Structure 1
Amino acid sequence: MIMFNTLRTLILSCILSLTASFAFSQSNSKVVAKAGDGIYLLLRRHGLDPTQHLQAFMELNKKNIGQDNSLYAGRTYFLPSGSAGAAEKTTVKAATAPSVLEVPLFGEDYARVEILDRELQGAVYYLMAGHSGPDPGAVGKYGPYMLSEDEYAYDVTVRLARRLMEHGATVYMIIQDPDDGIRDENILKMDRDELSYSGKPIPYDHNKRLRQRVNEVNKLYLQHQNDYQRMLSVHVDSRSKSQNIDVFFYHHENSPSGQALAERIHEVFTNKYNRYQPNRDYYGSVSPRSSLYVVKYSNPPTVFVELGNIRNDKDQRRFVIPNNRQALANWICDGIMADYKASKEK
């Protein structure tokens, strides 16, 4: 199975917001959206990786983006700098350098990973998508479709893995789906073919499932005893259909490191909501919950993340829309990076 090695080549820092002068630079190409275009499709058509250019595109075009980050057919949009021919030159140059990896687990469209910097060099992360295999987790209805927790938690988790790798981290995906990769569909097909990190089938028995994944984390933990190590377990909650909740975080009550990581990710979410949704309060929280098996028994400091209520219409848009799943991964990554930076300053 796939282990993501620490990466050592510094290229371009990831910019999540652009200055006003850059935003209106003459280097930004103009394109017209076609019927059926979403941001991902538009960026890919013009040679841009959506995971790198999504935030910049939204900043450039924030007055021209519809509900749920939709585009208007026939309208003109600015592309972030580095598009078209310039992007092709960068790709050719980078393809011969060790700053590019091919990671099949991410799927055909995302397997090529460019290393942006070394900000997470020396950090080891264990990422665990909730449930999986024979256990779909929470299930909600979205129009005529059924949504399962494990598919959406996995997609956010694998996107997060890719973002961490871009910053030089060592990443272990504890739950892996060999054929899904990162998916840009709204409705993610439910399946049961996920495997553990070691390639073993995921047990039917709930307790055995939890022991299997925690045991694999703890075995890997012993190999990195002198390194900075953290673990994140990603889930989607199920509550009353009428209950709209925000992303919230659990940690072990006796883990100051786990609490610090949770609080730094929470701080990022608070700031992002204040920026992008200034007319609403963010009610996400950080709290101890040591009774959770993966929080209680995993050796690395652990944060348990709940992305929303899979039965609530508003919460569903948070993870059904692929742009939003990427934003969740980006924001979690930002908090992780802030935590690692703080740990090195001690």
Structure 2
Amino acid sequence: MFRYLILVVFIAQAAFGQESLKTVTAEPGDGILSLLRKQGVNPYEIFDEFVALNNHDLRDSVHLIAGKTYVIPKFELETVPIVDSIQKQSTDVKKLESASYAIFGEKHKTVITKSERLKGNVYYLVSGHGGPDPGAMGVYAGKTISEDEYAYDITLRLAKELLAHGAMVYIIIQDENDGIRDERVLEIDHDEVAYPNKTIPLNQVARLKQRVEIVNDLYKSNKGKYQRLIVTHVDSRSVGQNIDVFFYYHENSKNGKKLAESIHTTFDAKYKKYQPNRSYAGTFEDRTSLYLVKKTHPAMTFIEIGNIMNAKDQVRIVDPDNRQALAKWISEGVLLDFEEE
């Protein structure tokens, strides 16, 4: 089991000569995966390199912009002979530091360093439900989907974003078999465990108490460090109720409120930029009655991603690009929260 997620399995540096790499112009409807497939390459092998090389021309680091020209990486990160060859061909060299984390799955295990903006900070990430409790249930394309699978996928994507900025990350609910998944329908299983390798109780109170104890024990062990907790859930309401992402915090926590407000502010700005004809109705408010909000020690925010029963909200969670965008927006809110201290 992943006793310390902060363990770096390997550190690699890669050099890419821009002159040696192929470019392609995105067409309407193209996504990163489909664009790379059309170039005859395995999109998962070079996805992270593609994002790193083209970051300035991607919307929220995950969406292509039609008409933009993108660089297609050719080379694996750790292939030293190829790196040497590229360096001889061009002086335009971009070095990428990376680390590998098995918990993200084989296709997404590589985390490319973006910055050290969160270096020294500690983040505890809790995805809702898991183990014997799948959480809220819905039906999409004739198949049953569950809250815990989508909350977990978004949490993993968020963890990867935070690690890329130098943070220390603890994933409290873990599934060693799933990793980050790019399917729309995420298969339901019940093999999740609580950090580091604890069986998740069936009883709801016992389950919540277990998570509180894990987080609070880790909080004590990291005393003196900048620490925050982010809990991710998917709501369940009437089929006709379309809701935006919203946030809770402890009424007596100034830092918790600031974290929630920073992420909320980020979402509001993203909606204004990318959906100018649609106002953002998500809120941030105190909800101390929630067990994890009330009992955990780090400043925290509790996030509800959407209504798993509603068709419009389902699009937000079943589309893997949207899940990545959600994680990216949350991470940008986390950066905003810390850097406005």
Q: Judge same fold: TM > 0.5, yes or no.
A: yes
Determine which of 66, 89, 103 is the counterpart of 1:105. Answer: 103
Question: Which residue is 1:321 aligned to?
Answer: 319
Report the alpha carbon displacement of residue 92 of structure 1 after superposing the two structures with TM.
Answer: 3.8
Determine which of 60, 72, 78 is the counterpart of 2:69. Answer: 78
Report the alpha carbon displacement of residue 113 of structure 1 after superposing the two structures with TM.
Answer: 1.5
Q: CA RMSD in A?
A: 3.0
Distance 1:164 1:32, change over 3 A: closer
CA contact (8 A) 1:141 1:147 kept: yes
Alpha-carbon distance in structure 2 between the residues aligned to 1:190 and 1:54: 33
Alpha-carbon distance in structure 2 between the residues aligned to 1:207 and 1:233: 16
* 1:283-308 Cα deviation digits (max 9, x unpaired): 01000000101110111011000000
Question: Which residue is 1:141 aligned to?
Answer: 139
Alpha-carbon distance in structure 2 between the residues aligned to 1:55 and 1:184: 23
Question: Which residue is 2:24 aligned to?
Answer: 30
Question: Which residue is 2:269 aligned to?
Answer: 271
Alpha-carbon distance in structure 1 between the residues aligned to 2:212 and 2:297: 9
Distance 1:57 1:118, change over 3 A: closer
Q: Which amino acid aligns with 2:161?
A: R
Alpha-carbon distance in structure 2 between the residues aligned to 1:89 and 1:249: 40
Determine which of 35, 39, 46 is the counterpart of 1:42. Answer: 35
Distance 1:280 1:175, change over 3 A: same
Greater Cα shift, 36-45 or 97-106: 36-45
Give the unaligned 5+ runs of structure 2. Answer: 15-20, 84-94
CA contact (8 A) 1:161 1:173 kept: yes
Report the alpha carbon displacement of residue 32 of structure 1 after superposing the two structures with TM.
Answer: 7.7
Report the alpha carbon displacement of residue 212 of structure 1 after superposing the two structures with TM.
Answer: 0.7
TM-score w.r.t. the length of structure 1 is 0.82
Greater Cα shift, 240-249 or 110-119: 110-119
Report the alpha carbon displacement of residue 41 of structure 1 after superposing the two structures with TM.
Answer: 4.2
CA contact (8 A) 2:120 2:226 kept: yes
Q: Which amino acid aligns with 2:69?
A: F
Give the unaligned 5+ runs of structure 1. Answer: 13-26, 65-76
* Structure 2 SS opposite 1:179: coil
* Structure 2 SS opposite 1:336: helix
% identity of equivalent residues: 45
Determine which of 243, 246, 250 is the counterpart of 1:245. Answer: 243
1:212 aligns with 2:195: no
TM-score w.r.t. the length of structure 2 is 0.83
* 1:207-228 Cα deviation digits (max 9, x unpaired): 0100111100111001111000
Alpha-carbon distance in structure 2 between the residues aligned to 1:324 and 1:166: 19
Determine which of 168, 171, 174 is the counterpart of 2:169. Answer: 171
How many residues were matched structurally? 311
Report the alpha carbon displacement of residue 63 of structure 1 after superposing the two structures with TM.
Answer: 4.3
* 1:243-268 Cα deviation digits (max 9, x unpaired): 11000000000000000000000010
Alpha-carbon distance in structure 2 between the residues aligned to 1:237 and 1:56: 33
Greater share of strand residues, 1 or 2? 2
* 1:46-70 Cα deviation digits (max 9, x unpaired): 6342665578345895347xxxxxx
Question: Which residue is 2:231 aligned to?
Answer: 233
Alpha-carbon distance in structure 1 between the residues aligned to 2:76 and 2:196: 38
* Structure 2 SS opposite 1:62: coil
Q: Which amino acid aligns with 2:32?
A: I
Q: Which amino acid aligns with 1:208?
A: A
Distance 1:184 1:51, change over 3 A: farther
Distance 1:212 1:120, change over 3 A: same
Distance 1:110 1:63, change over 3 A: closer
Q: Which amino acid aligns with 1:56?
A: D
* Structure 2 SS opposite 1:109: helix
Greater Cα shift, 172-181 or 54-63: 54-63
Paired residues for 1:278-317 under 5 Å: 278-317=276-315
